[in-house]
Amino acid sequence: MNITVVGLDIAKNVFVLCGLNQAGKPMLQRKLSRAKVLGFFANLPVCLIGIEACPGAHYWARELLRFGHQVKLVPAQYVQPFVRGDKTDARDARAIAEAITRPDMTFVQINTDAQQDLQMVHRVRQRLVKERTALLLQIRGLLNEYGIVFPQGSQRVAAVLRELLADTQSFSGLALVIWHDLLVQLQTKEQQVADYDARVQQLCRDTPQAARLQQAPGIGPLTATAFVAAFGNASHFASGRKLAACLGLVPREHSSGGKQQLLGITKRGNAYLRTLLIHGARTLLRHADKKTDRLSCWACSLKARKGFNVAAVALANKLARIAWAMLSRDADYDANLLQQA
Nearest to 267 by CA among 316, 232, 336: 316
Helix (H, G, I), strand (E, B) or coil at 17: strand
Q: What is the mean pLDDT of residues 220-241?
A: 93
What pLDDT is recorded for position 272? 95
What would the mean pLDDT of 85-113 be, rounded to a whole number? 92
Confidence at residue 336, expressed as pLDDT on a 0 to 100 scale: 64
Give mean pLDDT, residues 256-279: 90
Q: Which CATH number among 3.30.420.140, 3.40.50.970, 3.20.20.10, 3.20.20.80 corresponds to the domain 5-100?
A: 3.30.420.140
- State yes or no: pLDDT of 340 exceeds 60: no
Please report, for the chain, the start and end positions of each structural domain, with discontinuous segments joined by +.
5-100, 113-206, 211-253+266-340
The CA distance from 324 to 338, in Å, is 10
Q: Is the pLDDT of residue 238 over 60?
A: yes
C-alpha Rg value of the chain to the nearest Å: 25
d(CA 26, CA 43): 19
| Predicted local confidence at residue 171, as pLDDT | 83
Q: 252, 313 in Cβ contact below 8 A? A: no
Q: What is the pLDDT of residue 269?
A: 87
Say which range, 31-40, 128-137, 142-151, has the weakest mean pLDDT: 142-151
The whole-number pLDDT of residue 155 equals 86
Q: Around Cβ 64, how many Cβ atoms within 10 Å?
A: 22
pLDDT, average across residues 191-196: 97
277-312 pLDDT, tens digit per residue, is: 999 999 999 998 888 888 889 999 999 999 999 999
Mean pLDDT, the chain, whole residue set: 92
Alpha helices (H) along the chain: 37-42, 57-65, 76-79, 89-100, 113-144, 154-166, 173-206, 208-213, 221-231, 240-246, 271-286, 294-306, 308-328, 337-340
pLDDT at 70 over 90: yes
Query: pLDDT-based confidence at 254, cuts 50/70/90?
Result: confident
Q: Which residue has the higher pLDDT, 191 or 150?
A: 191
Sheet holding 14-20, edge to edge: 26-33, 14-20, 5-9, 48-52, 70-74
Confidence of residue 339 (pLDDT cuts 50, 70, 90): low
pLDDT bin (cut points 50, 70, 90) of residue 29 is very high
| Residue 143 or 340, more confident | 143
Q: What is the pLDDT of residue 221?
A: 96
The confidence score (pLDDT) of residue 338 equals 56
pTM (two decimals) = 0.88
The one-letter code for the residue type at 341 is A
